[in-house]
Amino acid sequence: MITKRATKLADGRDLFYFDDADSTLPAERAIDERALDPRPETARMRQDVLTGEWVSIAASRQNRAFLPPADQDPLAPQTPQNPSEIPSTYDVAVFENRSPSFGPLLEADDAPPSLQSLSDVGLNRQLRSVGRCEVVCFSPATEGSFASISESRARTVVEAWADRTAALSAMPGIQQVFPFENRGEAIGVTLHHPHGQIYSYPYITPRTQRLLDSIERFGPDLFEQHLANERASDRVVLQGEHFTAFVPFAARWPIEIHMLPHRHVPDFAGLTEAEKDELAHMHLRLTRGIDKLYDDPTPYIAAWHQAPVHVGRDTVRLMLQITSPRRAADKLKFLAGSEAAMGAWIGDLVPEKAAEFIRQGVERA
């Protein structure tokens, strides 16, 4: 069985160890004995009156680590020479981010009072950026990605995502939980360590709000019909008993893969053991396949879209979206005028051709 062990860092932040089912690690864990500065004040978020969207102004993030040498990796196990964030060696470790975009406060007098109040629009509106940001370390290795870990370790990561989704969703003030992995300097990664993050927002994100609007216009069976349509197309990349991965009909990015469960599941916490097993296996195959498209690893964002905590639970389905700006071996797609300024996308590749290309990478992997 995958085992969870909870402890605290020196400044009071939560740290969770998730031991593989076949782990050889001892049960004991070292104590974090560092002398740390107090945690930063919870940021404030401001509303863009032109769109109604909220922007967290988290200035403390300016001090986060930026591409340190391997012997100073803040996500590696602590050594006498490296006072990192994790006291002991580990299989998978999850801890509260030292420089969060949301949190550490979960409740405050100036926290968002309700979802309805967030949808109002006005000048100079500010609220506290309550919430929680966690780091998920896939391995103690100093370089790599999800694709570089074993299948047993991938299953442990999936268990950690499920555990943290359930725990974070139960916290006050949390409206949406978002696990993701950024991979590659072209994406903006500042650490080469194989890791991801989990953001827990005090609002429903703009992308999910647009999805809820589409469901309202299309009907509550949007995901069921969408999946059936994609499974009947020649854009399917990989298919299992419980999940199907495909290049979507209207793909924006040169490399874009979505994966959906065959039954309605709102988030990781709702998955069965068999579904978690298959998800770990298929996510590994997809990320390894992306790395076989070219001679060197491909940068990507692996984003796990989940239903909001309090709305849309019966209609919004758990969904993986992997996107990469890599449009050729030596070329990247940059978001310029139309995409960045107007949100009007122009695709570089025909989705059916992109699916064929990605299938070849998955087969090589």
Give the C-alpha distances (Å, rounded to integers) separating 61 from 37, 41, 64, 97, 359.
15, 11, 5, 10, 38
Establish whether 195 is a catalytic residue: yes
CA nearest to 240, candidates 271, 274, 272, 268? 274
- What's the rounded Cα separation, in Å, for the pair 237 and 257? 8
Give the C-alpha distances (Å, rounded to integers) separating 311 from 65, 96, 125, 164, 176.
36, 26, 24, 19, 10
Please state, as a whole number, how many other Cβ atoms lie within 10 Å of the Cβ of residue 148.
Answer: 17
DSSP code per residue over 39-60: PPPPPEEEE-TTT--EEEE-GG
Active-site entry in 195, 226, 258, 305: 195
Q: DSSP assignment, residue 38?
A: P
CA nearest to 311, candidates 182, 204, 235, 199? 204
Active site positions, annotated: 195
